Amino acid sequence: MYQPSNSPVHLSPVRVLLIDDHPLVRAGYRYLLHCTRRLQVAAEASSAAAGYRRYLEGAIDVVVLDLSLPGAGGLEVLRRIRHRDEARKSKVLIVSMHDEPAMIERALALGANGYLCKRSNPEMLVEAVNAVARGETFIDPAYAKAMKPAAEAQSQVGLKSLNEREFEIFRQLAEGRSVDLIASSLSLSAKTVANYGTAIRSKLRLENRAAMARMAMAAGIVSPA
């Protein structure tokens, strides 16, 4: 029988790396994140090269990354992180002024876990960092809305090719649920769910989970955040 404990529940802190070339922007991020006890700014950097070095120096849970950086640029930092961290334990949240669908698509295809607009409500940064730290995909609602019309027709056609089991697994993967959690909910083995995921991506011609999330959002199956 469950009995509530009088002791507070201690969650592991989420270590955040801020990579942005504007000191005032980083200071604003730091203030917002420090207002939430669980989020800790572990390191900061003002260039692509320095950001990647900071990433290599410590155990980072979430990288908050700008795209317009001195040097190689944010997309190259993202590519290097994903090449280094094939298991994708570290999450990457892009926070940028770029709102072109092509740029967003490129970042997500390279392995970004989320994309946030710098013009968004400041409190959304905390929401986005927490979401990607949990393994979810977070797309700024303004971006998701802009991307929806172009992808909607293609999404609806592609999803009709999935059978009932494939569609359910697709939906749960697109929501950001883990393979183990999906396997438990459907009474399947994790290996079977993983195999389904590979087959679904192949059938829909999608590269990764981020692409699945975008298709699901375009079709109205899951909400942007």
Enumerate domains of the chain plus CATH numbers: 14-139 (3.40.50.2300), 148-218 (1.10.10.10)
| For range 176-191, the mean pLDDT | 88
| For range 82-104, the mean pLDDT | 85
CA dist 215 and 221 (Å) reads 9
Of 85-89, 123-127, 185-189, which range is least confident? 85-89
CA dist 25 and 97 (Å) reads 12
Q: Which residue has the higher pLDDT, 216 or 65?
A: 65
Residue 16 has pLDDT above 60, yes or no: yes
* 54 CB-side CA count, 13 A: 24
Q: Which residue has the higher pLDDT, 9 or 25?
A: 25
At residue 148, the pLDDT reads: 54
Residue 145 has pLDDT above 70, yes or no: no
CA dist 40 and 44 (Å) reads 11
Residue 154 has pLDDT above 60, yes or no: no
| For range 87-112, the mean pLDDT | 84
At residue 212, the pLDDT reads: 86
Q: Which residue has the higher pLDDT, 21 or 214?
A: 21
At residue 155, the pLDDT reads: 54
Residues 134/175, Cβ–Cβ less than 8 Å:
no
At residue 5, the pLDDT reads: 38
Residues 32/47, Cβ–Cβ less than 8 Å:
no
CA distances from 90 to 56, 145, 215 (A): 11, 27, 23
